[in-house]
Homo-oligomer: A and B are copies of this chain.
Amino acid sequence: MKRTSHGAALCPIARSLDVIGDWWSLLIVRNAMMGTRRFGDFQKQLGVAKNILSARLRTLAEHGIIATAPASDGSAYKEYVLTAKGRALFPVLVALRQWGEEFAYQPGESFSKLVDRETRLPLRKLEIRSRDGRLLQQGDTTVVMSA
């Protein structure tokens, strides 16, 4: 399917989706956050075709989300590591996860949970807050053009 590029978009949501709005990209980023570093491991974990994984890793690298590094064990393998820009996608993954937890499972279905490493308790739900700390709903917000 032909994709319209929103690279010229004035809206940061569209601009973000232009970079990571691809089916596999966020799953690659998710697995990289959980510690996956090698092509073969991404491939096995995601069950994705090699050519698609190659293309997605290349795009993520071009956008500075992932970088390649020599293998940590000194072998000839190349490893893929998130950059600061890539690690900054964590709130996007948390938001997708929390929405999925609430709406995408039937009662009784199991799913993985993101927990605080220290207490093993689930995280607090993401809150949208004003600069001065008030809890906001979508209707309390509006979109304006920045200078």
Contact = CB atoms under 8 A, between A and B. Distances in A.
Query: How many copies of this chain does one complex carry?
Result: 2
Given A130-B121, A131-B121, A131-B124, A27 B14 contact: yes
Nearest to A129: B124
Interface of A: 1, 3-4, 10-19, 21-23, 26-27, 30, 33-34, 47-48, 52, 64, 85, 87-105, 110-124, 126-134, 136-147
18 contacts: A4-B48, A10-B111, A11-B97, A13-B26, A13-B27, A14-B100, A15-B104, A22-B23, A33-B138, A64-B103, A90-B128, A90-B138, A95-B126, A112-B143, A115-B143, A116-B136, A116-B141, A119-B132
